[in-house]
Amino acid sequence: MGSLNRSRIPFSAAGGGPHHHPLPLFTRAHQIGALALVVVTFLLTRAFDRLSCPLSSPAPLAAGHSAASLFDRAGAFSWPERGYGSRLDLKIYVYEEREVDGLRELMRGRDGNISPQACLKGQWGTQVKVHQLLLKSRFRTLKKEEADLFFVPAYVKCVRMMGGLNDKEINQTYVKALSQMPHFRYSGGRDHIFVFPSGAGAHLFRSWAKFLNRSIILTPEGDRTDKRDTSAFNTWKDIIIPGNVDDGMTTFHGSTIVQPLPLSKRKYLANFLGRAQGKVGRLQLVELAKQYPDKLESPELKLTGPDKLGRTEYFNHLRNAKFCLAPRGESSWTLRFYEAYFVECVPVILSDQVELPFQNVIDYTQISIKWPSTRIGTQLLEYLESIPDEEIEGMLAHGRQVRCLWVYAPETERCSAMVGIMWELQRKVRRFHQSAETFWLHNRTIVNRDLVEFQNWRTPIPLP
């Protein structure tokens, strides 16, 4: 072989002359110098990398570390580089409502008379907010062929609540819309994003298990096994998102409805502001409040009629305790958990199956308490009463640092729910997509089972 023959060339033939003795190519001094050069080069490269990648973060917030360590020098929220990358770099295609047959009905109802503005408030508001923010996002692309991910807009929770579609119609309309999306068939739905913002989660689409079992679902709801055999949330593909806090309580939307009270001026140790709904944990809290009315506030909430509790009155009640209790209701998550951070009371989670957002960057032991729902009683109040105000103040301070992640503001803000969602979506991006109905040939042509090239696939496309 050529490399072996070259090693046998005499030194003289290489240009040294017949009477010159060969000299060693590398002395020990040369070797030491080369090693030192490699070490210096490595250290300098690492130093420049750290300076040029300000978005990276060495680790999630750990016990004993300040919440401020989650922010870079520019004040932007940092995400761990491992698994996410050092900067946001993804392209999302957003389907237009008139582009796909069925989307308009999923957004406005069968008669088209439900407006997005009517769906902005309440738990289902995130379906509208995420959609509207993506339409204005710098990560939006108008070209399907360059998209990393595809967003499917639908306001079905709101539409259903307002009588725009019933459960059967929602199911049929989703199936019709999906059959109009060749890219959904191409990937088996793996690169398509859906938002289901309420406690029902993806179960609003009855056939989710058949059609969306590989898609990315954004939802605040991680568990519905109390009413279903299986949960629609899959921790490996789906993303838990924050609940929709009233815009009037978030600093991104101007002055807040109410301001937090100093701990010394709060009347109660804890409160529970919610309907009992016949749930064991909630009923126990109502009874506990009757036994200890000076420690635990749990007023009967009237949501209709002349004595209906207004939002200002609601937040005035919420801010008047050191701890805000968040038991399970119809589902495992509750909006009260997120609201607590804006009136600055420590949320106490009384929901064993709850899933929380952005767990790769937030250590929830620093900003909340999770107590077994099976131990609701005087022991809980005694425990909360034993916590010094200094400890409470520390938890509230950490909460102020991260509560920006509960706010649905543009991803151009240094910290917002959309920033967190974008980072989590980036982690889902794949270079290659396939499905049971996608095939490819030697020339990189993508075809279906009938060997029809992808660009010639006709709608409606048969779904699995």
Asked, for residue 299, whether it belongs to a domain, the answer is: yes
Do 120 and 184 share a domain, yes or no?
yes
The side-by-side arrangement of strands in the sheet containing 321-327 is 296-297, 268-271, 321-327, 346-350, 369-370
**pLDDT band with cut points at 50, 70 and 90 for residue 428:** very high
Do 184 and 263 share a domain, yes or no?
no
Task: Report the alpha-carbon distance of residue 46 to residue 456 in Å, rounded.
Answer: 49
Nearest residue to 286 via CA among 385, 387, 351, 377? 377
pLDDT at 233: 87
Query: Which residue among 206, 240, 274 closes a domain?
Result: 240
Asked, for residue 419, whether it belongs to a domain, the answer is: no
pLDDT at 35: 62
Average pLDDT over residues 338-345: 95
CB-based contacts of 235: which residues, under 8 Å, 6+ apart?
A: 222, 355
Do 114 and 230 share a domain, yes or no?
yes
**pLDDT band with cut points at 50, 70 and 90 for residue 275:** confident
User: The CATH number of the domain where 297 resides is what?
Assistant: 3.40.50.2000
- 3-class DSSP state for residue 380? helix
Do 223 and 192 share a domain, yes or no?
yes
Hey, what are 199's tokens? Answer: 């406690």
Asked, for residue 78, whether it belongs to a domain, the answer is: no
Per-residue pLDDT reduced to its tens digit, 15-33: 444 444 444 544 666 556 6
Which of 130-144, 156-170, 314-328, 449-463 shows the lowest per-residue confidence on average (mean pLDDT)? Answer: 449-463
- Is 458 a residue whose pLDDT tops 60? yes
Asked, for residue 64, whether it belongs to a domain, the answer is: no
Q: The tokens 């804006």 sit on which residue?
A: 342
- Is 253 a residue whose pLDDT tops 70? no
Average pLDDT over residues 140-156: 96
pLDDT at 431: 86
pLDDT at 202: 87
Cβ atoms 376, 245 nearer than 8 A:
no
**pLDDT band with cut points at 50, 70 and 90 for residue 123:** confident
Hey, what are 306's tokens? Answer: 């002349």
Query: Residue 253 CB: number of other CB atoms within 10 A?
Result: 14
Task: Report the alpha-carbon distance of residue 366 to residue 41 in Å, rounded.
Answer: 40
CA distance readout (Å), 221 to 15, 67, 130, 246 = 77, 26, 16, 18
pLDDT at 55: 35
Task: Report the alpha-carbon distance of residue 123 to residue 104 in Å, rounded.
Answer: 21
Task: Report the alpha-carbon distance of residue 133 to residue 92 in Å, rounded.
Answer: 12
Q: Which percentage of the chain shows pLDDT scores above 70?
A: 80
Characterize the bridge pairing of strands 439-440 and 446-447.
antiparallel
- 3-class DSSP state for residue 398? helix
Average pLDDT over residues 305-310: 73
Which residues form the domain of 154? 92-240
pLDDT at 258: 84
Asked, for residue 314, whether it belongs to a domain, the answer is: yes
pLDDT at 332: 85
- Is 343 a residue whose pLDDT tops 90? yes
Instruction: Report which listed range, 27-36, 170-179, 306-315, 327-336, is most confident.
Output: 170-179
Mean pLDDT over each residue of the chain, to the nearest integer? 83
Task: Report the alpha-carbon distance of residue 182 to residue 190 in Å, rounded.
Answer: 13
Asked, for residue 71, whether it belongs to a domain, the answer is: no
Task: Report the alpha-carbon distance of residue 128 to residue 135 in Å, rounded.
Answer: 11
Query: Residue 274 CB: number of other CB atoms within 10 A?
Result: 19
Q: What are phi and psi of 151, to 5 degrees?
A: -105, 130
Do 286 and 355 share a domain, yes or no?
yes
Do 266 and 220 share a domain, yes or no?
no
Query: Which residue among 207, 240, 273 closes a domain?
Result: 240
Do 231 and 251 share a domain, yes or no?
no
Average pLDDT over residues 348-376: 95
Query: Which residue among 192, 221, 240 closes a domain?
Result: 240
**Count of structural domains within the chain:** 3
Let me know if 413 is exposed, middle or buried by CB neighbors in 10 A (0-12, 13-18, 19+): middle
Query: Residue 1 CB: number of other CB atoms within 10 A?
Result: 5
Do 316 and 399 share a domain, yes or no?
yes
Q: For the chain, how many residues are written?
A: 464
Do 179 and 263 share a domain, yes or no?
no
Q: Which percentage of the chain shows pLDDT scores above 90?
A: 58
**pLDDT band with cut points at 50, 70 and 90 for residue 356:** very high
pLDDT at 196: 93
Do 235 and 253 share a domain, yes or no?
no
Per-residue pLDDT reduced to its tens digit, 95-122: 999 999 999 999 999 999 999 999 998 7
Do 255 and 389 share a domain, yes or no?
yes
Hey, what are 113's tokens? Answer: 């008379």
Do 230 and 273 share a domain, yes or no?
no
Nearest residue to 407 via CA among 252, 217, 181, 285? 252
Hey, what are 50's tokens? Answer: 């750290």
Asked, for residue 334, whether it belongs to a domain, the answer is: yes
Asked, for residue 376, whether it belongs to a domain, the answer is: yes
Cis peptide before 460 (omega within 30 of 0): yes
pLDDT at 187: 93
pLDDT at 61: 41
Task: Report the alpha-carbon distance of residue 464 to residue 452 in Å, rounded.
Answer: 18
pLDDT at 116: 93
